[in-house]
Chain A
Amino acid sequence: MRTEELKAFAKNIRINIVNCIGSVGVGHVGGSLSIADLLAVLYGKQMNIDPKNPKMEGRDRLVCSKGHAGPAIYSVLAEKGYFDKALLSTMNKGGTNLPSHCDMNKTVGVDMTAGSLGQGLSCAVGLAIGSRLCKDGATIYAIIGDGESDEGQIWEAAMYAGSQKLENLIAFTDYNKLQLDNYVAEINDLSPLADKWASFNWDVIEVADGNDVEQIDEAVTQAKTVKGKPHMIILNTVKGKGISFVESAGVGSHSMPMPSDKVEQALRELRGE
């Protein structure tokens, strides 16, 4: 996809997120919207995948370690045709295949279960080692949250991936500076985040606007040229990006009500009406 197509793809992902969460009336809106552009780049351009063959051998895989961004993952998967978009309105309803947090055994196209924070990056390390053992050339992607980075296990995984020189692992921090209770810097300051990852022997790229598909795409392309290290791409994002009332909710956007009037307001804004 070209840049304009990626932007349109990201917009459609956002529309799906709003419809998906709107069908339940409440959900993790902020952290889902902040990674929509990243997902557009990965599923629209960078990942070697086949929605018609979701278990394709040697495919690239994504671990959404911040598992509460399930609505964003379902939205991109539906947009890519892994399953019918109508399924999005079943999220979190009894018996659904789209639970709030990602479940590889329920949802076609989800590569790893996540939800208890801090574990997904270690799982991605396991996948990356698996791919290296199989010599299949796959790239393993992982998305972690900035709040999630409080978890000690993130840094256990970071140290081991660096030690193992897992160059086929590309991880992203959704650095939207907000976690559930407050600003990240107020709760448990992550800065200097790039220095931290570099000191764990990772190749680090900081993306100034983590909601700009062009900048994200360039970073991923550049990461793939660096050998001998795992890659951390720090995306400076905006929580709730694309919908003004969600953005302005700030800390309150982690999980927020999305009643039908707000859904309509959000969709009008996304469509530019």
Chain B
Amino acid sequence: MITQETFMKDVFTSYLAEEMRRDEKVVVLDADLAKCIGTNKMWAEFPDRMFDVGVAEANMASIAAGLSAYGFKPVITSFAPFVTRRCADQIMISIAYAKQNVKIIGTDPGICAELNGGTHMPLEDIGMLRSIPNVTIYEPTDAVELARLMPQIMAKEGVVYVRLHRKNPTLVYSEDENRAFDLYKADVVREGKDVSIVASGIMVDTAVKASEALAEEGISCEVVCCHTIKPIDAETILRSVKKTNAVVTCENHNVMGGLRSAVCEVLCENYPAPVRSVGVKEQFGEVGKVPYLRKAFRLEEVDVIAAVKEVLAAKK
């Protein structure tokens, strides 16, 4: 049962263990962070299919490619900056270019890296991976959505990057959510007519809360949860924007290369509309707890509200 206390890393590891029981081709590779991600809990049950390669992410990525070439289904894990930035070329050549079937799990996206600070705070991972052909990029919104989408992620043949918050972000969905989650479909979590807020990750809940506050001022926001940044669900975004004619993007990532860029690419070629963005702007990460970091990088509810008002002014 999923509650507000459920950690997303536990949703991930428990489904992964189920999948390993069902499918003996699934193998897991860690780079000395298994104890942080929780995959160490599976060591005893699957001693032959768990590989901790040590602090060597590049090696891990290419070994995974070799295992995939042998017919296995590798899952590689580490903190997001190390399993993307540190082995970008190995993901590009050994895995993606070679058309291998590898799942990449990167934890602690953006400001969720908190006390590990700037060196561990990935604000560019989506931008880097988005330019590699045929890589699916998924950022879970909450534990409910992740639990529903894990089977689709594991069943997908090819490269899927999961930008996983290890902890328990505020639930956007309840466990009895009657919604057919689809890895490749964005979800309208709140309907509205004045502005479309396209959000991902921890910013979805922020967008919903900002919308509630704006509703009291008579501003009607539609919140589109864009959990999969690549390939982006242009259809759902365009359907919303054709109704509202104004867009605010919200992401826990650099606005350059991430969700904002992906949304703007859709709009500029199909339906140009004014856009304002909430996200990290030309800054490196820094150490701190989430409330401080939200303030430092302007990722708070008030920032979403300000962006909505700004884009509404531009729309007029």
Contacts and interface: CB of A to CB of B under 8 A. Distances in A.
Interface of A: 63, 103-105, 111-113, 115-116, 118-120, 122-131, 133-134, 152-153, 156-157, 159-160
B99 interface: yes
B48 A123 contact: no
Interface in B171-215: none
B98 A104 contact: yes
A115 B27 CA distance: 26
Contacts of A126: 62-70, 74
B130 interface: no
A181 to B, nearest CB: 20
Contact of A160 (B48, B63, B71): B63
Nearest to B54: A160
Interface in B92-116: 92-94, 97-99
Contacts of A111: 69
Contacts of A116: 89, 92-94
B100 to A, nearest CB: 9
Contacts of B61: 122
Contacts of A118: 58
Contacts of B48: 133
B7 interface: no
B69 A127 contact: yes
A157 B59 contact: yes
Contact of B72 (A63, A122, A133): A133
Overall SS of chain A's interface: helix
Contacts of A130: 66-67, 69-72
Interface string B21-63: 0000001000000000000000000001101011010110111
B69 A123 contact: yes
A125 B97 contact: no
14 contacts: A63-B66, A105-B99, A112-B69, A119-B93, A119-B94, A120-B62, A122-B62, A122-B90, A123-B69, A127-B70, A128-B66, A130-B67, A153-B58, A156-B56
B63 A134 contact: no
A63 B58 CA distance: 17
Contacts of A124: 66
Max count, chain A CB within 10 A of own CB: residue among B58, B66, B72, B98: B66
Given A128-B66, A130-B67, 10 more contacts: A111-B69, A125-B62, A130-B66, A133-B27, A134-B70, A152-B58, A153-B90, A156-B58, A157-B59, A160-B53
A160 B69 contact: no
B69 A125 contact: no
A129 B89 CA distance: 22
B63 A129 contact: yes
A241 B92 CA distance: 33
Nearest to B55: A156
Nearest to A115: B93
B58 A123 contact: no
Contact of A122 (B51, B59, B68, B70): B59
A4 to B, nearest CB: 35
A85 B65 CA distance: 30
Contacts of B94: 113, 116, 119, 122-123
A133 B61 CA distance: 18
A63 B49 CA distance: 23
A1 B71 CA distance: 31
Q: Which of A104, A105, A122, A153 has the most chain B CB atoms closer than 10 A to its own CB?
A: A122
A159 B61 CA distance: 15
A153 B63 CA distance: 11
A130 B94 CA distance: 16
Contacts of A127: 66-67, 69-70
A116 to B, nearest CB: 4
Contacts of A128: 66
Residue from B61, B90, B93 with most neighbouring chain A CB atoms (10 Å): B93
Nearest to B98: A113
A186 to B, nearest CB: 26
B59 A160 contact: yes
Contacts of B99: 105
Contacts of B56: 156, 159-160
A131 B51 CA distance: 15
Nearest to B66: A126
For B62, B68, B97, B99, the residue with the greatest tally of chain A CB atoms inside 10 Å of its CB is B62
A176 B264 CA distance: 52
Contacts of B51: 129
Q: Which A-B residue pairs are the 9 nearest by beta carbons?
A: A126-B66, A130-B70, A122-B62, A156-B59, A113-B98, A123-B66, A126-B63, A156-B56, A126-B67
Nearest to B61: A122
A161 to B, nearest CB: 9
Most chain-A CB neighbours within 10 Å: which of B53, B56, B69, B74?
B69
A113 B66 contact: no
A155 to B, nearest CB: 9
B218 to A, nearest CB: 56
Interface string B290-310: 000000000000000000000
